[in-house]
Structure 1
Amino acid sequence: MRFVLKIFLSSFSVVVAAWLLQGVDLRDYLSAILVAIVLALLNTLLKPILVILTIPFTIITFGLFLLVINAAMALLAAYFVNGFYIAGFWWAMGFSIIVSLMNLMINLDDRKRR
């Protein structure tokens, strides 16, 4: 049940980011749910490998390279989900920042309730 709630809250973050950014196009709410699921899978399976492989870049850039990895995850999600389009890298960067900040606020509120 908790996983389903997190997916729906993440899909809300996706909808808000798509609404705020002109370069991000979202066809419908089902696409937003699929994007949230694909992002969860990519962040679970692929992101840890990329973080380990790019440790030198992350250290040199004081952690800012993690934003590039998040943008890459967003572009991959756009590739896999029909109905979700990101116009380019910088739009993906903005999308990942907005979604990350919104999910951070949601998770902070969730921790306060425990």
Structure 2
Amino acid sequence: MGQFILTWIVSAGALFLTARLVPGLEISGGASALIGAGVMGLTNAIVKPILIIFTLPLTIVTLGLFLLVVNAIAFALVGYLTPGFEVNGFFPALFGSLVLAFVSSLLGNLIKDN
């Protein structure tokens, strides 16, 4: 249970940092980041696999590059569902999903090393 809470807090911190780095993303505070991290987990577990299955032919044709669009759609959905977290357009969602993946990876590696 402790590892789950630590992962959730690290994800919220990564989301908060991503909102500060990417123009077009706005987050109102720590509570919104925590809620957003939870919504992101649910979105990645439920909605994203469905989107990937429906867009599989297009993903194959584009050699996997369409998965960037699927990630942006999932990120924008999190912004829509989370109070206090706004995603202002497609390109902030696209860059936000890329930056979030990078920041989450860095923070996750820092936590694993300690």
With normalisation by structure 1, the TM-score equals 0.89
Give the alignment of 1:1-114 within 5 angstroms: 1-108=2-109
Instruction: Report deviation, 1:105.
Output: 3.1
Partner deviation per Cα, 1:42-86 (whole Å, 9 max, x = no partner): 100111111111111111112111111111111111111111011
Partner deviation per Cα, 1:9-57 (whole Å, 9 max, x = no partner): 1111111111111200000111011111000001001111111111111
The one-letter amino acid paired with 2:93 is A
Maintained 8 Å contact 2:14/2:100 = yes
C-alpha distance in 1, partners of 2:16/2:64?
A: 27
Instruction: Report deviation, 1:104.
Output: 2.7
Residue-pair matches, total = 113
Sequence identity percentage: 34
Instruction: Report deviation, 1:108.
Output: 4.7
3-state DSSP class of the match of 1:25? strand
C-alpha distance in 2, partners of 1:66/1:14?
A: 20
Unmatched runs of 5 consecutive residues or more in structure 1? none
Point out the more displaced range, 34-43 or 97-106: 97-106
With normalisation by structure 2, the TM-score equals 0.89
Maintained 8 Å contact 1:13/1:98 = no
Maintained 8 Å contact 1:71/1:92 = yes
Unmatched runs of 5 consecutive residues or more in structure 2? none
